[in-house]
Structure 1
Amino acid sequence: MKKISFLILSLAGLLFTACGDDFTDWASPQSNLPENAVEIPGLKASAVGDIDLAKAEDAVQVFTLSTEKLPEGYTFANARISIITTEVNCMPVKINATLDGKVSKEELQNYAVKTFGKRIEKHNYSAHVFLNAVKDGQALLIDAGVVYFDMTSAPTRTVIYLFGDFSGWSPEKAKECAMFQTDVNVFAYYGKFDGNVKAWDEHNLGNWDMCYNTSKDKDGSTEMSGPLEISNGGAIHSPEAGFWKMEMNLNTMQYTWTKLENQTPQEYSSIGVIGDFNGWGGDVELTQVTPHNWFVKTTLSKDGGLKFRANGGWDINWGADFTVSDADYSAQGVAGAANINVPAGNYCIYFNDITGMFAIVSE
């Protein structure tokens, strides 16, 4: 068997010129499987079992390679996988790997989320393993076979930023418009809309290929609800001008528009936060970034309670029996309710004065 593999590699020099372009292409992500890959008897990738990303290290073991000795002067390099699931219709994605079969947890999580959304579920995957046999700067593409495994995505803090015609299309403007978390993986923004919107999560802010939007064939759709996907796809258009609740459900990967009952909400000259962090001695004022939505980036110097209030007085104030944490950062403020408990730290603070919804997101 080894003689056969050595013979293949000895003849590889005849193929290096032809395969050089393939090797160059494979240094960059692509959708199509490579041509001219060869199999070496005795060299095969094996699965290591199911993967739970919640329990995994930053580098996740996906496969192992059987040992195959190479002729003098040859080395293995540039391992990568082409990962895909057969549960939905999608294209394979290339992810770099180490020669001992480890792959970035972040890239696996991103693929799972892009394919299935934010749901924490187990799904079936396959990974086609490729690597190069390299000598003197030339490379032969080796096909090490396919491994099959189940993988469960990891729960993570999710912050979704809505952006579009109502706010501006830059990442900087998007970060001023965090959606409020109303349920697990369900987010809403309440405001005045008359145009297109998309969204980013905090880990992909500014990456147009990782937008939450609808499909390209539905670009500019004014439907009351529709499918969400993660792509550089079609923008979602408000059904008509007015005040709306724009909801994105990442469990079902659906969006929904709901027209607000109050189309003439009360105006406030200012919204501020006040609390133990400043000795209840005056407001840290928020900026109104879109109609009735307010934002400030600030430091809370000590643990304790805080409230939101309007116009620098106590006649109109909002609180909640709620303790802010890194992952649980959003709730609905109620007029005259208890102080909101917040640990000391650096925060982006968001408030909607129509609903009392707030988000206090740690930096």
Structure 2
Amino acid sequence: MKNITKSVIALFAVLALSCSVEDVEDRPVIQGVDTPELVAPENDKSYVLLEENADDVAERFVWTKATYAGDVEIGYKLLIDVKGGDFTKAIELGGTSGATQTEVTVKILNQAVIELGGTPDQLGSYDIKVVSSLAGIEKMMSETPLTILVNAYTGLIPYEFTDWYLIGAAVQGDWTNNADTKHQPLFRSGTNPNLYQFTGFFKAGAFKLISKPGQWAPMYGKGDNGAIVARPTEADPDPSSFEIATEGYYTFTMNTETLKYTLVAYNAAAAATFTTVGIIGDSTPLGWDASTALTQSTFNSHVWSSNVLPLNDGKAKFRANNAWDVSWGGNTAFSGFPNNGASGGDLPVAKSKYKIYFNDLDGSYLMIPNQE
């Protein structure tokens, strides 16, 4: 009985294997026949884009239907590149499933032009093509591009805040001051733009605050009785430094309206350490499916950052170890720290290129837009 059972199992295994091989060998290859070609708008049409019309439709692009050797569902993507570009770094303007036209808003067209290096308030030439595909596999691109002329606006999103960075022997970057030095910024309150905070590791030594890496003013230093002293220009007197007597973890807070600061010890002994921390959400490159990893600081293992990351309109969160058992959110754009903008909600994000900083000790975040 056992031998019969073994024979039956072996027979099914052979049949399954042979079916799989034949399926692969006999799978029909669907060939592309006619590429999709743009028919509207007219060639060399000009557009003057205005920020106040960002949500309006700039244009409806129409193309001919791609044909394949078979009755199949065809997907399309509308792409833009600089005039004469090879479309290897083209930007997607929109996509459809079956439809041979799509509307593109002023905002989307403008942002694509800016990302392609367009100069605001100057007319530039750009090529448009359509790519058709079958389940993302068999692709055909327009043979002849449609050229449009676009006068774009800056595309910068409003960011009327001042960021402050730690500099000195006690902090990351030491006293080296140039634009390329990775100085640690303070995290700004999401509800009070004058309130700043940073919790993290400090060496024994001194530090000050600067707002523009590479420049020594504006600056804040230490005054008497918990006061901060401003140095508006480099012609003004250099203020005293804040001092760290013993290396360890501290929370530094300052208010640029009241001109007061606090510096208190922080107990990090029980703080969790993480292998990875990333940003996730429909605004991020990988959507809600996977985290985009941030880089861990070599000076402070609880601080994570991303140099320049393009994000879309949408939401985001931070999470540890590519899982959802530990995650952090926020309810204010750009920045927040506990009780001043950080929460368990999803962070609101506007499309731009960002420098991102995150602190896993307390969930503080800072996202600085309009990066090159």
* TM-score (normalizing by structure 1): 0.49
